[in-house]
Structure 1
Amino acid sequence: MSVEPQHQHTWPQPPPGGYTADDLDRLPDLPPHTELIDGSLVFKSPQTKFHMRVMRLLENGLLRSAPHDLEVVREMTVQLGLRRRPEPDVMAVRAEADTGMEQTTYRPEDVVLAVEVVSQDSEARDRETKPGKYAKAGIPHFWRVESDEGAPVVYVYELDPATAAYVPTGIHRNRLKLSVPFTIDIDLTRTGRPRG
């Protein structure tokens, strides 16, 4: 019995020094939601239902709450430097930063809030790597969302400008009620789970 050889995908080979932020827009056939972290391409695994539902809940809550001078976007990148272009799950950005329908990225000074929903394959990036890079770039607010047996827990951080590092300001389990970066009140129990 003969076995047909399986087609093997050829991944792009990085140039010396790694990829640059502009390469994300030029490289053909990249998987959706590819990020650039320190010159390396990072491919995301398929998202879980928890991830999808929490992103939808937070995006809708932020859309209801955001002032008119801010826009809520999801799954777009922020260019943190020549070789860094991560993709937060949700962001609140300055509306004036809109460059049109072909826009793929934002500058860090245009980002007011970056949100990461932690997945099993992204734990180290979402807990350690990305927050440090967002803080150094001056993004004033950061939320990290974790699953506690399927229920979202939102860890809220604010930038300390003296240290260019995030300081924790709260842990929210059932309700996310904040006054910064704007007035927010989101019922975290409404993740769209089927009611029984």
Structure 2
Amino acid sequence: MTAEDDVEELPSWVRPPPEGFVSEDLDRLPGLPNHSELIDGSLVFFAPQTAIHSLAVHLFWAGLHRWVPKGLQVSSRMTIILDEDQRPEPDAAVIRLAGEDDPDRTFYWGKDVVLAVEVVSRDTRSRDRKRKPLLYAEAGIPHFWRAETETGRLVVHVHELDPATGAYILTGVHQDRLKLTVPFDLDIDLTDLR
């Protein structure tokens, strides 16, 4: 077997098209790893998550689920189509229900997202702190939370979209307890990582 033979056995998505991938490709490409994202037309794959990341994602899902009002639902590990070459997968999201929900759907539309939550990991730091907030703001998602776990504690940076600038503004940094009135009333114990 030669090096050329090895290359031919690789899946087609290993070699991106010159114009980059598009959001529909995540549903069409065979053998694509689970939880793949599309950022700027490039495929992004998830590294194995740490225990604290997993616990934080669960805490947000359970906490949001407890407080989410009628007409909204909590989603975890679903991609969001923002435009043709942007399809990120936030760690958690709150979605506005629009008519009948399709149980076989593989994504939500950015226009239906009320809140996107990212839990920063070592391999996602740059994307979660810089690129994804820009993408979510450009898509008009009104609320964004960035959760940091580097200190072993959960610290949540809460952002709201400024309609005048189209950018997020930091409205608070929360440790121990996340008590808010927007996007809806909620009270989450950030120390309850179990």
User: Aligning the two structures, in what range does the TM-score lie when normalised by the shorter sequence?
Assistant: over 0.9
Q: Given the two structures, how large is their TM-score scaled by the length of structure 2?
A: 0.92
CA separation of 1:182 and 1:61: change in aligned 2, threshold 3 A: same
Q: Give how far 1:150 is off.
A: 1.3
| Secondary structure of residue in 1 paired with 2:149 | strand
Read off the aligned partner of 2:43 and give its amino acid letter: L
Q: Does residue 1:85 correspond to 2:90, yes or no?
A: no
Which residue is 1:10 aligned to? 10
Q: Give how far 1:97 is off.
A: 6.0
Whether the 8 Å CA contact 1:97–1:106 is kept in 2: the answer is no
Give CA deviations for 1:133-189 in whole Å, capped at 9, x if unaligned. Answer: 100110000000001421100000000011110000000010000000000100001
Give CA deviations for 1:89-119 in whole Å, capped at 9, x if unaligned. Answer: 0000012265411111111110000000000
Which runs of no fewer than 5 residues in structure 1 stay unpaired?
Answer: 1-6
| Secondary structure of residue in 1 paired with 2:31 | coil
Corresponding residue pairs, total: 186
Mapped to 2, the partners of 1:148 and 1:19 lie a distance apart of 32
Q: Percent identity?
A: 53
Cα RMSD (Å): 1.4
CA separation of 1:49 and 1:97: change in aligned 2, threshold 3 A: farther
Which residue is 2:106 aligned to? 104
Give CA deviations for 1:58-115 in whole Å, capped at 9, x if unaligned. Answer: 1100000000110000011111111110000000001226541111111111000000
Which residue is 2:58 aligned to? 56
Read off the aligned partner of 1:10 and give its amino acid letter: L
CA separation of 1:152 and 1:61: change in aligned 2, threshold 3 A: same
Mapped to 2, the partners of 1:70 and 1:16 lie a distance apart of 39
Read off the aligned partner of 1:168 and give its amino acid letter: L
Runs of 4+, deviation exceeding 3 Å: none
Which residue is 1:27 aligned to? 29
- Residue 156 of structure 2 is aligned with which of 150, 154, 157? 154
- Residue 182 of structure 2 is aligned with which of 176, 180, 183? 180
| Secondary structure of residue in 1 paired with 2:38 | strand
Read off the aligned partner of 1:51 and give its amino acid letter: H
